[in-house]
Amino acid sequence: MVPQQHATARSDEFSVVPPDIASAASRYQTFREIEAEHLALMARHNLLEEWTDDVRATVLEARERVREARESRAEFRGHVREFVLALRTTGDSLPTVLRHTRVMLQLLERSGAIRGDGGWLEAEILEWAIEDYET
């Protein structure tokens, strides 16, 4: 268990998220939203029947957006993994690591690097943090 003093002091240690993390978070959120839009466009077509030039172009465009989102996800997830593993290495418990991760997300939102999305991004990142902590 982490003493309360330690947990409080640690959450105050960082008040600004490094620019590379902020940039990766922003890029990921943007590409994730674009990916969702293109997948929704693709889903409007019956891909078992209609393969017009328009449908083919829609599918190819969606494939490119999925690739961009996957690359930006990998980059941002790498930053989250480094953050989580650094905290785990110092002996922080999982609940403490999750609190610090939430603080990082709040700082990203306050700085304008990411936008509020009803908690979807936070849930995804906290899931990553749990996976990274446990492996």
Running DSSP on this structure, what letter comes out for residue 49? T
Distance separating alpha carbons of residues 45 and 39, to the nearest angstrom: 10
- What pLDDT, on a 0 to 100 scale, did the predictor assign at position 50? 76
- HEC profile of 8-29: HHHHHHCCCCCHHHHHHHHHHH
pLDDT 10s digits, 4-53: 434 444 444 556 789 999 999 999 999 999 999 999 999 998 888 878 99
Range of the domain at 82: 4-134
What is the rounded average pLDDT for all residues in the chain? Answer: 89
Indicate the number of domains in the chain: 1
132, 84 Cβ separation under 8 angstroms: yes
Amino acid present at 125: I
Question: pLDDT > 90: what percent of the chain?
Answer: 79
pLDDT in tens, 47-73: 888 789 999 999 999 999 999 999 999
pTM of the model: 0.81
Q: What tens digit of pLDDT does each residue of 87-101 get? A: 999 999 999 999 999
